[in-house]
Amino acid sequence: MMDDGLRIRLPLADELARLARIERRAARLFSPDDLPSALSERTLPAETLSAARDAGLLWVADDAGQPVGFALAEILDGQLHLAEMDVDPAHARRGIGSALLEHVLAHGAQAGFDGVTLTTFSHLPWNAPFYRRRGFEPHAPAAGSPLASKLAEEIQAGLRHRIAMRFALNQPLQE
């Protein structure tokens, strides 16, 4: 359950550097077998974050005025695609990831998308099982589609056990 003091909002321009720190801290939760060391220190480019913020596709979980997690979406294959979601491990187990996900799904529904997609690790409890509990299903992207290419790029970069998942926006979010 999310603490009452948390809210989901668009980030301020001067908060974007904080998101890279959150991303790096969250990456430390992954084994080098899943996330190679060379990738664990990489963060989303500032230009990507800024463009997503300007497009209204980047949200932060705010705790007392400080971002403690974020979700970044993009449009991929005509769907809203959750490209990245991270919560600072110091703020884990408070419902922040669920609140961010609910916000992304609500945005997708409001914007008229019929689904939200993502790629994730199939075997880690805070990845595919987390999304599955909330109504996401494994999804086989069409061959040659941007989502299929994204998944292939992740695997080629050394990420293991990757799958695509999709939430149909005509269904309620599971708890």
In tens, the pLDDT along 31-65 reads 767 766 666 667 888 999 999 999 999 999 999 88
Residue 114 banded pLDDT, cuts 50, 70, 90? very high
Sorted by where each begins, the domain ranges of the chain are 6-168
Rounded distance, CA 127 to CA 124, Å? 5
CB neighbourhood size of 14 (10 A): 7
Of the options 3.20.20.80, 3.40.50.300, 3.40.630.30, 3.30.70.20, the CATH number for the domain spanning 6-168: 3.40.630.30
pLDDT tens string 65-105: 899 999 999 999 999 999 999 999 989 888 899 999 999 99
Confidence check: pLDDT of 174 > 70: no
